Structure 1
Amino acid sequence: MDVPVPGAGVIGPAAPPKARIVLIGTGGTIAGRGASPVNTSAYDCSVLSVDQILDGLPAAASIADISAEQLFQCGSENFGNGQLLQLGKRISTLLKRDDVDGVVITHGTDTIDETAYFLHLTLKSTKPVVVVGAMRPPSALSSDGPLNLYNAIVVAASESAHGKGTLVVANDEIHTARDVAKTNTFKQEAFSSPYGPLGYIVEGKPVFYRLPARRHTVQSEWSIDEIDALPEVGILYAHGGMNDAMVRAMLDSGVKALIYAGTGNGNVATSVVASLVNARARGVHVVRGSRTGSGVVIRNAAQPDDRYDWLVTDDQVPHKARILMMLALTGKHCTRKLQNAFLTY
């Protein structure tokens, strides 16, 4: 006589379906290769395809159903407005599909914060978008690329990442695109946010501790689907002994706005004030920022901004203030509206 086996024939709950993630390759150190395992900073950039990178990370298949595509293959120092627009439009198309739950972009670290901020302000979706890079190529000892990519896919596949805008994942940290900046040339802990990361990846799971406070994505006034060109915005870096030659050269280049990365609280040397006042008289917007890397530039403090009709960056670093200013200039704008953009995003 057969003895019944406890639990025989009982079917447990089905495993939840895996998230469907699209991985977009654009090059960078995460796709690089060095001649030696100890070449952590000297190597060939943008050598490996996104498929090769993914093949080197078989554990990712347990997290999500991943499809990959190569959009660019270049170091991010070569990213221009054209690449920003092309990347943004491709991601927007993907996010509208019902069979896509999130997008991960492999990217060079040099301008990863600029690209991420652009996407943060222009994508109209609450689905997770994560930009990820590496400080060491896959060929190097202790390369951070594989774990960074694994973590990025984990975050993009997580329900907890929905509605938080574009994120940058690096060194076990999850940063909002609005705040993050690259702050070191070669160390693995190269990224930081002035108010700290949004969260961490702990034992393969994303844990969030705070939310982005400023408007983004579906709350933003800009949509990548409606932008086909971006105005030129330049950056001037202040230094001791500065004269107005660089201001004049910038104006001659045809920029529509100029971010002045001033000393301290956006201070402007007396030797260049007249040229910047003239720039505004010629229709070029002047935005006072700071080269310090953190802190708030206060309107009408270091300079009489109301009298000169200048703007201030609030707490945004100059290179990301440029991204915001380009977008702000795509629509109808006046000084009040432009200044409000820096206080809102």
Structure 2
Amino acid sequence: MTDQVIQTISAVLVSIAFCLLYFAGSNFVLDKIIHLPIGSKHGREMLRTHVRPWLFIAPALLLLGTYLVYPLFETFRLSFYDATGEQFVGLANFRWVFVDQNFLLTIRNNFMWLLVVPAAATALGLVVAVLADRVWWGGFAKSMVFMPMAISFVGASVIWKFVYDFRGPEADQIGILNAIVMGMGFQPQAWVTIPFWNNFFLMAILIWIQTGFAMVILSAALRGVPNETIEAARIDGASELQIFFEIMVPQVMSTILVVWTTITITVLKVFDIVMAMTGGQWDTSVLGNLMYDWMFRGGGDYGRSSTLAMVLMFAVVPVMAFNIRRFRTEEAQR
């Protein structure tokens, strides 16, 4: 344990020292070049102004290129090759995708996740944001709702494993859900093994995590709704439900869409929860798990795993494009 702490501290110190040396050294070299008697003084200053920002962002661009851009193009290239990544097979992998039963199952599961999780997490976050502001202990309630955001997906899955735990029909049950079911006079169940419905039990974990995120963003947006408008609606006889649906929701609709699209992107990339809870068994696999299985289980298949990765990317791009387009539209209207 001590060695790990020392190694971590050493890595941090070395990184900081490298950054300081890089920026100091690059500025020193730039200043030396600028002071050379080449061209006019104004031209040298213009060169300094244009070059210095690129010196600062060069390390970030290098890292992005190495760990994001290059893998993207390499994955795209491998999607046209066989399992070994050596023989070109054209569009065979993409044709396989749309006839493989496991892939069609994962698409169904991903579609259900997309329908349920963003809508449920956004709606719950909005309700909590509205109700928490109406009670004196609302700050504490918001803290409790937001707390799951500090837990990793794997950690949250471990917690919910105890909620869904099943020890056999005759054994003592420690799972909270089975304790409630037995208290109501029903038989305990192995919840995560029930086909189709087990997907919803897994979705509950992500909803539990993302509700806190939605609540914080929407709570801040709701503070921008003018109190004068709400008070005027109350004077005119509007009910609290009418105020909520006809005044609050329309005025924070742009924020709701941002929260919804952000959670949608998270859902498309979901992997940890399914892997930790079921490993993709019992018809719970999603695209991330299927890609992992083809790449790292059974010897590995570069072609098909890369194809699945590209399908996942193609699914994320439209959502991101919609979000960026809406953001630009809002910026242009300001």
TM bucket normalised to smaller:
under 0.3
More strand by share: 1
Which one has a bigger Cα radius of gyration?
A: 2
TM-score (norm 2): 0.24
TM-score (norm 1): 0.23
